[in-house]
Amino acid sequence: MRKILLIAIGVALLAAGAWYLLANRGDGEPRILATTTIQRGTVRKVLEATGIVKAQVGAMVKIGARATGIIERMPVKVGDRVNKGDLVAVIDDREQQAEQAETEARLASVQAELSRVRQVYPLQIAEAQAQLDLAQAQYAYAQANFKRQQDLVARDVQPQDILDQARRDLDVSRNELEARQATLRRLRQEFEQELTKARRAVDVAQATLRSIKVRISYTRIITPISGLVSQVTAQEGETVVSGLQVTNLVTVIDPTRLEMWIYVDETDVGQVKPGMPVEFRVDAYQERMFQGRIEQIYPEPEIRDNIVYYRALVPLDPQQALALRPEMTTQCQIVVEQRENVPALPNTALKWVGDRQVVFVRGPDGEVREVNPQLGLQGLESSEIVNGLQVGDVVATQVVIPGLTVPQTSNGQRMAGGGGGGGGGSEQRNSQEDGGPPGRPSEPGSSPGGSSGGSSGSGGENQ
C-alpha cells in the first residue's frame, strides 16, 4: 500500500512539472480548435427582465350575490365555459315574490283611485258649472225685475212691498251666484289636488314595484362576461347573507384577454419606450417564443426589497393568451435596438488576451493573426462590425493560446471574463459587483461568449 502511494505521488509531481514547463513556454502560435465565418445578419440589443402574466382589467370578474337567501341552484362548476348572460346561480326569492304581489295589489288600488278622480271630478265640475250658469241667469233676472219695480213704485203703479220683495230676490240671487262660483273654484282646486295625489300614489307604487323586481333579479345571478369558470365558492343549499361586502360565489375569467407586466429596473427604464418589441418564454412552454409590444410604462414605481421597478404593460394576442395562464412567470427580452443586414461577429469569437479583447483570424494560407476590431451595436449573441473585419473572414471561436496568463484579481481568483467572449446585449446586472442594493436580480450564469474553460495539455489557455 505504501509503494502504491509513493508511485502516485511521483506521477503527480511529474505531471505538475510538465504543466509548469509548458505553461511558462512563451513561444508557439495560437492553435485554433473551432472557427466560423463572418456573415451579414441581424444584431439586437436587448434588456432581460422578469414579467408576470395577468388578466386585463375586466377580464376576470368575481360574481357575487346582493340577495340574502338559500342557494337553490348552482348550475356551473370549475372549468365550465359560459357566455355573457348565462345563469350561474339561483337564490330563493319567495319573500321578494310576496312583496311583489302585495305591491302589485297596492298599485292596482291607487290606479283605480286615479281613474275615479279623473272620472268623478269632471262630472262634479260640470254640474257646478251648470248651477253657476243658472244662478247667473237668476241674478240677471232679479236685477232687471228690481229696476222695473223701482220705476213702477216711483209712478205709484205698484205698492212698496212689491219693491221690497224684488230687492230681497236680488240679494238672494246675488248670494246664490257667489256660492255657486265658490263651489266651482273649490271643485276645480280639489280636482287638481286629488289628481296630483293619485298620480303620486301611482308613481310611488310603480317605483316600489320596480325596486322589488330589481331585488328579485338579484336572486338570478348571471355572468357579465364570456369565459371560463375559474372558481366556485358556494354550493346548493348554502345560505348567503348580503351585507356591506358582496358575497363572492363564482369567478369567471376570459382566457383571451391577458396582458403581461414587465418589471423594469430603474437603471434601465430610460431605454424602454412604448412600441418596443418584446420576446418572452414561460416554463410551461420552454421551446416556444411568445411575442408582443410594450403599450405603456406606468409612471408609478413599485418598490420590492428596496429596489425600484417600473411596470411596462404588454397586451397579449388572443391566440397567444389561450396558451398562457394568469400569474405565470415570464423571462423577457425587450428589444431596445436592432440593426439588420450588418456584418455580424459572433460573441464567441471575442477573446481576452491580457487586458485586450481581440479576435483571431485565420487567413487563406492558414496563418493566424490577432485583430482588434471596432464594434458598433453589441448584441446578446453577436456584435456589429464597424471596422477591422469584413464579411467572409474566418475567425476562431475556440482557440488555445500558448503561455497566456489569465488576469488575476486582488484576491488571486480569475478575473471575470478572462477566458470568455466579450459583448453581450443583456443589460441585467449583479448588485454585488456594481454596488447596488441587495436583492437585485443577479447576472445570469455565463456570458454568451463565455469560454469552455480549463487549461489545455499544451500549457496554453483554451478559449
What's the CA gap between 419 and 403, in Å, rounded? 13
DSSP state of 414: B
Q: What are phi and psi of 334, to 5 degrees?
A: -90, 120
Calculate the alpha carbon distances from 17 to 10, 11, 155, 292 in Å: 11, 10, 174, 58
Contact present, 432 and 447 (Cβ < 8 Å): no
Q: How far is CA 135 from CA 131, 187, 442, 447, 448, in A?
A: 6, 17, 108, 116, 115
The DSSP code sequence of 241-307 is: --SSSPEEEEEEE-TT-EEEEEEEETTTGGG--TT-EEEEEETTEEEEEEEEE--EEEEEEEEETTE
CA–CA separation, 167 and 152 (whole Å) = 14
- For residue 4, the model assigns a pLDDT of 62
Strand partners, 462: 400
What's residue 104's pLDDT? 95
Report d(CA 217, CA 231) in Å as an integer.
Answer: 22
Reported as type and span, the H/E element at residue 128 is: helix 94-154
CB-based contacts of 173, cutoff 8 Å, min separation 6:
135, 138, 139, 141, 142, 143
pLDDT at 219: 93
Provide the pLDDT for residue 10: 64
* pLDDT attached to residue 336: 92
Question: Residue with C-alpha cell 246664490?
Answer: 176
DSSP reduced 3-state for 372? coil
> How far is Cα 394 from Cα 38, in angstroms, rounded to an integer?
6
Mode of pairing for the β-strands spanning 31-37 and 81-82: unpaired
For residue 421, the model assigns a pLDDT of 43
Answer for the pair 347, 424: CB distance below 8 angstroms, yes or no.
yes
Per-residue pLDDT for the chain (463 aa), expressed as one digit of tens each?
555 655 666 666 665 555 544 444 445 577 888 999 999 999 999 999 999 999 999 999 999 888 889 999 999 999 999 999 999 999 999 999 999 999 999 999 999 999 999 999 999 999 999 999 999 999 999 999 989 888 888 888 888 888 889 899 999 999 999 999 999 999 999 999 999 999 999 999 999 999 999 999 999 999 999 999 999 998 999 988 877 566 789 999 999 999 999 999 999 999 999 999 999 999 999 999 999 999 999 999 999 889 999 999 999 999 999 999 999 999 999 999 999 999 999 999 998 888 888 999 988 888 888 888 999 998 888 999 999 888 988 999 998 877 654 443 333 333 333 344 444 444 433 333 333 332 333 333 333 333 333 333 334 555 6
DSSP state of 455: B
3-state secondary structure of 375: strand
Give me the residues paired with residue 64 across strands. 248
pLDDT of residue 241: 86
Distance CA 152, CA 42 (A): 132
pLDDT at 21: 46
Model pLDDT, residue 244: 59
Please give the Cα distance from 221 to 229 (Å, whole number): 14
CB 153 within 8 A of CB 162: yes
Structural domains in the chain?
Answer: 28-44+339-462 (2.40.420.20), 52-57+254-336 (2.40.30.170), 63-90+223-253 (2.40.50.100), 95-217 (1.10.287.620)
Cα 61–Cα 292–Cα 307 angle in degrees, nearest 5: 80
